[in-house]
Amino acid sequence: MIKVFSMILLISVFCFGRDNPFVSASNITKFTHINKKEATFDDVKIKLPNSARILKSIAVVYQNLDGSIDKKVKIINKKTDWHDELIFTRTKQPVAESKPMVMKRDTTEKAKTYNFKNFIRFEVSKTSFKIITKDIKIRDFLVSHPYKVVVDFKRDANFLTKSFMLNTPPFVSVVLGNHDKYYRVAIKLDGQYVYTLKKEKGNFVITLR
């Protein structure tokens, strides 16, 4: 009987354990074993054998954040000349321009600065997200679908939820929400990352990898 009850309890945990979208994802996001010294991919050239006539598909094998290996296949099914050299190259996606909402923004060479209500300020660049405030940090965690870094600060404030676009990949947008004696900063990311939050000179700095 005890074994049956334990099995039911275990199934219940698996079924309902992720109902809350703001539960920390730190337990499900594993650190990868990717070597940080690996060079960034730019391009690779491929020469087919002289028997090749039809290019059927292209497969890319890649390593995920958790260290697992996956593959993505693109179907081609087109004629090819084996004399030609195939080049697989990296191209950067263009960033769509959008007017900032609600926030007052000052643009500098290295980072965009956003001020709100005179108690919090953000400095956003392509390498880091800095939160400048004198308020006490209560907690921080990662949520998925979509991926967001969430940071809660202690303050008995009164304001409506504010949302605005950043357009600084990998940082997409920020939402500030007011709760009972604390407020939440939810930073939406453009994909899956592992984040680090450190306090530097009184500021909170978020970096991704």
User: Is residue 22 assigned to a domain?
Assistant: no
Domain that holds residue 71: 43-89
* Model confidence pLDDT, tens digit, residues 42-68: 888 999 898 888 989 998 998 888 889
Mark whether 117 and 181 lie in a shared domain. yes
Single pTM value for the model: 0.63
User: Is residue 99 assigned to a domain?
Assistant: no
Mark whether 114 and 203 lie in a shared domain. yes
User: Is residue 27 assigned to a domain?
Assistant: no
* Model confidence pLDDT, tens digit, residues 148-163: 999 999 999 889 999 8
Please tell me the distance from the alpha carbon of residue 124 to that of residue 33, in angstroms, as a whole number: 28
Please tell me the distance from the alpha carbon of residue 192 to that of residue 172, in angstroms, as a whole number: 12
* Sequence-ordered strand ranges (E) for 84-161: 85-89, 104-107, 112-116, 120-124, 129-132, 137-143, 148-154
Domain boundary among 89, 120, 155: 89
Residue 24 clears pLDDT 90, i.e. is over it: no
Number of domains in the chain: 2
What is the band of 21 on the pLDDT scale with cuts at 50, 70, 90? very low
Q: Which of 180 and 12 is assigned the larger pLDDT? A: 180
User: Is residue 67 assigned to a domain?
Assistant: yes
Please tell me the distance from the alpha carbon of residue 156 to that of residue 183, in angstroms, as a whole number: 8
Domain CATH for 168: 2.60.40.3500
The closest alpha carbon to 203, from 147, 142, 121, belongs to: 121
If you average pLDDT over residues 178-200, what whole number do you get? 94
What is the band of 135 on the pLDDT scale with cuts at 50, 70, 90? very high
Please tell me the distance from the alpha carbon of residue 182 to that of residue 150, in angstroms, as a whole number: 13
User: Is residue 195 assigned to a domain?
Assistant: yes
Question: Which residue bears the tokens 């004629």?
Answer: 79
Sign of the C-alpha dihedral computed for residues 109, 111, 112 and 117 taken in this order = negative
User: Is residue 203 assigned to a domain?
Assistant: yes
